[in-house]
Amino acid sequence: MADTAVADPDAALSPAQLAARHGLGVAGSRPSLAAYSRTLWSYRHFIAAYANARLVASFSAARLGQLWQVLTPLTNAAVYYLIFGVVMNASDRVPNFIAYLCTGLFIFNFTQTAVLQGTQSITSNLGLIRALHFPRACLPISVTLTQFQHLVASMVVLVGIVLVTGEPLTLQWLLVVPALVLQSVFNIGLTLAMARLGSKISDLKQLMPFIARTWMYASGVLYSVALFDEHLPPLLAELMRFNPLLVYIELVRDALLASAPLASPSGQLWLLGIGWALLVGFGGYVYFWLGEKEYGRG
Amino acid sequence: MAEQTDLVTHAASNGTHAASNGQRIPTVIADDVHIIYRVYKGGSPGSNSPVAAFKRILTRTQAPTVREVHAVKGVSFTAYRGEAIGLIGTNGSGKSTLLRAIAGLLPATRGQVFTLGQPSLLGVNAALLNDLSGERNVALGCLAMGMTPTQVRRLTPEIVEFSGINERGDFSSLPMRTYSSGMAARLRFSIAAAKKHDVLLIDEALATGDARFRRRSEERVRQLRAEAGTVFLVSHAIGTIRETCERSIWLESGVIRADGPTADVVKEYEQFANRK
């Protein structure tokens, strides 16, 4: 073509001016929050497919395959019941201890696994990140989605356990759905935040299992929440009530079990649940978005 | 007359100044780009001991296990629409790193890269899920490139057909971990090549597969080149560079040693390589 133009008017411009003149954008610059959310929405099929693919892949090498989705929570419940229900005899204090224990365990597991895997969701996918363009938030969100699918399988098991142990089937059970939705929003935010932290602080991966275990003991999963008031100073016991996981576990216990001991009245639980979901969900999303440019660097 | 209006609307639709006719339109501008990797491995023996780590925390010094690798050191160039540019240089000279920076996948530490639209990196190392079947990996890869489910359904048979993994029986429904390395590389290339691109970056993509697949993939790259505005090609096969690129950039230890017509740059590079 006409490469041999007489005098190139661009010759005197600096690279940045030349780029501005021809409408070039900076490679890998961060989009605005609204534009980022729109792109993320257009990638919803990728998020769903990736979550589903990870679910299938995680069982593909096992002979029993997807049956493990149900067997894993059952085995977990059996082990904890043996230790805390039979050996340590915590079941005296709580009516229907096995249902109480399983509710706490399954709900806690949802957050714990999502957060543990989310912490590594950027670092373990660097190959994919350095090869293809997509909003990086897809990765932690799909981790949460995979765990949500595990949770649904666990809930089927849980409903079985609750019914077998003689709890009545009431309309209040429907409250499980909004409670799990709130917890999912909370988890997505937390997983996003942890994914950004984990991509910068490589030691976090070693530390997370201990943090998760401490959190589990502080969430009244394995024993009656009444113990908080009996053994902790009043101020600390009051603080414990704000623990988001305790809130979500109690919401589900309140919905499913007729006479479970609760740390807070259910009205307060709902308010706390909504508050945590909004705060962590939105905060985590914004925090992750702010780091969008850095994720390829490793 | 009709042709001219067509040209003008075409240029205008790409967000450029249609009035500046006859002028070259830049598509990629690199302005003094530096890229520094931080590597958290390979410290000297003893530096990783608990005592040493504790000492570092007390004295607040950087861990010696964090090493900085200065891969690209102040690269500047301007690429124009319609150009095919070859990137040559010895192993580890920063070619692939530079491509990733142009694609916006690896942020530049200093300096800036300006691009027209979204450049796409056509590499062979897009990691997929090895436990899944080839067909599902195709769908996943296409979705990750931003296609809609309808497009994916339409393209999947084509991609599998192009990759030729079904030539030895129905491999597309088997998990990817059962594939030979050549088959996996062919499938990954076929997925990446399924999309049309504005600025196309090709990283050693032609070096995969057997002779037959290489011919087919070269044909596909020519098609993509015809559709794309600007093409960057990284390859050690000087023959391929000579055939496809009219301009070449020679990168050595992260610095541009030569930038100009392929014939000149390649001659200089070959003298350098033979001297060693």
Note the pLDDT tens digit of each residue in A85-139: 777 776 677 778 888 888 998 999 999 999 999 998 888 887 778 777 788 999 9
Among A9, A23, A57, beta carbon nearest to B16: A23
Nearest residue of chain B to residue A58 (CA atoms):
B131
In a mutational test of the A interface, the residue from B14, B57, B69, B114 whose CB has the highest number of chain A CBs within 10 Å is B114
Residue B173 CB neighbour total at 10 angstroms: 11
Ranges in chain B, pLDDT < 50: 1-21
- Which residues on neighbouring strands pair with residue B73, listed in sequence order? B34
What pLDDT, on a 0 to 100 scale, did the predictor assign at position A191?
96
Q: How confident is the model at residue A1 (pLDDT cuts 50, 70, 90)?
A: very low
Residue A62 near chain B (CB below 8 Å): no
CB pair distance less than 8 Å for A133 and B146: yes
B55-99: pLDDT as tens digits = 777 776 665 667 788 888 888 888 888 888 999 888 888 888 888
CA–CA distance, B224 with B227 (Å, rounded to integer): 5
Tell whether the model's pLDDT for residue A6 goes beyond 60.
Answer: no
Q: DSSP letters of A42-60? A: HTHHHHHHHHHHHHHHHHT
The model's pTM is 0.79
**3-state percent helix, strand, coil for chain B, nearest multiple of 5:** 40, 25, 35
For residue B48, what pLDDT is reported?
A: 62
- At B173, list the tokens: 């429904």
Element containing residue B29 per DSSP (H, E):
strand B26-39
Distances (CA, A) of A100 to A107, A147, B36, B235: 11, 21, 53, 63
Residue pointed to by tokens 């030569």: B258
B 37-66 residues with CB < 8 A to A: 37-38, 40
Look at residue A151 and give its three-state secondary structure: helix
The pLDDT score that the predictor gives to residue A168 is 84
* Alpha-carbon gap, residue A162 to A64, rounded angstroms: 25
Amino acid making up residue A141: I
User: Tell me, what's the pLDDT at A18?
Assistant: 79
H runs (alpha helix) in chain B: 2-13, 50-59, 95-102, 134-144, 149-163, 181-192, 211-227, 238-244, 262-275
Do residue B126 and residue A43 have CB atoms under 8 angstroms apart? Answer: no
Secondary structure of residue B180 in the 3-state scheme:
coil
- Taking the C-alpha atoms of residue B187 and residue B189, their distance in angstroms, rounded to an integer, is 5
Per the document, the length of chain B is 276
**Pairwise CB contact (< 8 Å): B143 & A294:** no
Residue A68 carries which side chain, given as an amino acid letter? W
Q: With an 8 Å Cβ cutoff, is A267 touching chain B?
A: no
d(CA A125, CA B13) in angstroms, rounded, equals 36
**B231: burial class by Cβ within 10 Å (0-12, 13-18, 19+)?**
buried
- Measure the CA dihedral A14/A19/A21/A22, to 10°: 140
Assess whether pLDDT exceeds 60 at residue A293.
yes
Contact present, A287 and A192 (Cβ < 8 Å): yes
Identify the pLDDT of residue B115.
85
Residue A210: partners with Cβ closer than 8 Å, 6 or more residues away: none
Residue A193 pLDDT exceeds 90: yes
Residue A297 forms contact with B (CB below 8 Å): yes
Q: What is the ipTM of this complex?
A: 0.76
Per-residue pLDDT tens digits for A279-288 = 999 999 999 9
User: Residue A282: its pLDDT value, please?
Assistant: 95
Q: For the residues A66-91, what does the mean pLDDT come to?
A: 81
Measure in Å the smallest separation between the Cα of B72 and chain A Cα atoms.
Answer: 14
Burial of A1 (0-12, 13-18, 19+ CB in 10 A): exposed
User: Do A297 and B37 make contact, defined as CB atoms within 8 angstroms?
Assistant: yes
